[in-house]
């Protein structure tokens, strides 16, 4: 294991690789953390996301999950740092414009909730330059549990206007999903 750890120390490999973790195991941990977050357990989810970031620092969604946990826990400083890390990692993903767009949208909403409209607008402007947008809106649907389940939508108009989270209501009408 020492040669593997040396590669990690030099920045050539992740700790997950050195310890023999497979992608499917990391994905299972990620899904578990997301389930905890979705069911109102941000502190427990935070511990898993910290472990995931430690195992593979290069994965933007691990940082994004951690940012979401910190925000839910009211730690805006750490949330901001994790959102920034997510954006930095997403910029490094080859052909990952869709990932970068999603991360920028989430950080823009974070800034918007903090009253930092200038920072939100900056992310929106970058998003519009990189996002694979076709049409009037760039949409992100989350919490989607199928056509009959509740979900929430965040939107960014093509003219750059950010639609705040509260501009959309959760859809719990199974006939109008």
Among 20, 25, 28, smallest CA distance to 4 is for 20
Cα three-residue angle 115-73-16, rounded to 5 degrees: 110
Tens-digit pLDDT profile for residues 90-121: 999 998 888 898 899 899 989 988 989 889 88
pLDDT exceeding 90 applies to what percent of the chain?
46
Region 147-158: mean pLDDT is 50
Look at 110 and 161; give whichever has higher pLDDT. Answer: 110
Q: What's the pLDDT at 167?
A: 45
Q: Which two tokens stand for residue 45?
A: 């989810």
Confidence of residue 151 (pLDDT cuts 50, 70, 90): very low
Q: Three-class SS of residue 174?
A: coil
The residues near 6 (Cβ < 8 Å, ≥ 6 apart) are none
| Separation between Cα atoms, residue 143 and residue 48, nearest integer Å | 20
Secondary structure percentages of the chain, helix, strand, coil, to 5: 60, 10, 30
The distance from CA 110 to its chain's CA centroid, rounded to whole angstroms, is 11
How far is it, in rounded angstroms, from Cα 5 to Cα 1? 6
90 vs 139, which has greater pLDDT? Answer: 90
Task: Tell me the pLDDT band of 136, cut-offs 50, 70 and 90.
Answer: very low
Q: What would the pLDDT profile of 6-60 be if each residue is shown by its tens digit?
A: 888 888 888 888 888 888 999 999 999 999 999 999 999 999 999 999 999 999 9
Confidence of residue 173 (pLDDT cuts 50, 70, 90): very low
Tell whether the model's pLDDT for residue 148 goes beyond 70. Answer: no
pLDDT on residue 169: 46
Residue 165 is given by DSSP the state: G
3-state SS record for 39-107: CCCHHHHHHHHHHHHHHCCCCHHHHHHHHHHHHHCCCHHHHHHHHHHHHHHHHCCCCCHHHHHHHHHHH
């Amino acid at each position: 294991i020492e040669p593997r750890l040396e590669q990690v120390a030099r920045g050539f490999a992740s700790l997950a690789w050195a310890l023999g973790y497979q992608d499917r195991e990391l994905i299972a941990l990620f899904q578990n953390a997301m389930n905890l977050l979705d069911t109102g357990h941000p502190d427990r989810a935070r511990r898993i996301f910290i472990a995931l970031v430690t195992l593979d620092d290069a994965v933007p969604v691990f940082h994004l999950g951690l940012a979401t946990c910190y925000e839910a826990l009211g730690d805006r400083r750490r949330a901001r740092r994790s959102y920034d890390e997510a954006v930095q990692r997403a910029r490094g993903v080859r052909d990952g414009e869709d990932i970068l767009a999603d991360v920028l949208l989430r950080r823009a909403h974070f800034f918007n909730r903090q009253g930092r409209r200038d920072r939100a607008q900056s992310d929106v402007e970058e998003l519009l330059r990189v996002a694979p947008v076709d049409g009037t809106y760039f949409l992100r649907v989350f919490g989607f549990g199928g056509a009959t389940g509740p979900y929430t939508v965040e939107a960014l108009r093509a003219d750059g206007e950010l639609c705040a989270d509260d501009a959309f209501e959760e859809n719990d009408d199974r006939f109008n999903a």
